Amino acid sequence: MTSPDFETFWRLWPRKTAKVAAIKAWRKIPPLELPLVMEGLTAQLPELNRRESVYCPYPATWLNGLRWRDEPPTPTVSPITAKILPQSGLTARTATNAINRLIASGIAPDEAKDRVYRQLGWIQG
């Protein structure tokens, strides 16, 4: 049986792989540190959700590596996007922030990107 805290973690984690290993890793964490795990996950979730699943760590790897203590990653923009954005009058940070706001509101990462890209006229539809 798993704890409600773990089930919340599992529901939020973008890559649903190796649940038994994740449960074992979760049980090693001191109870007083569990709120910090969830804070770290919340801070890192926008970046984790943006990644293709193969580039998102297994949940047990993230837990065993104490990765909730990491600084949230700075969003990066591809060189192609960096060239296109100035032509549209937007900065890379503006487009990234728009995508992040949509993801935070519950929209899937791919859908958020599509909406922003459509608004910018990069894709039709």
CA dist 114 → 52, 54, 110, 121 (Å): 15, 21, 6, 10
How many whole angstroms separate alpha carbon 31 and alpha carbon 26?
A: 10
Which pLDDT does position 93 carry in this prediction?
67
- Residues of the chain with pLDDT below 50 are none
CA dist 93 → 7, 56, 74, 76, 123 (Å): 33, 22, 10, 9, 19
Contacts of 26 by beta carbon, 8 Å cutoff, 6+ apart? 2, 3, 6, 9, 63
Which pLDDT does position 90 carry in this prediction?
58
What's the pTM value of the predicted model, to 2 decimals? 0.60
Which pLDDT does position 71 carry in this prediction?
83
Identity at 81, one-letter amino acid code: T
How many whole angstroms separate alpha carbon 78 and alpha carbon 95?
A: 12
Which pLDDT does position 9 carry in this prediction?
95
Q: Which residue ranges make up each domain of the chain?
A: 4-69, 79-120
| Counts of helices then strands in the chain (DSSP H, E) | 7, 0
- 26 contacts 72 by C-beta, under 8 angstroms: no
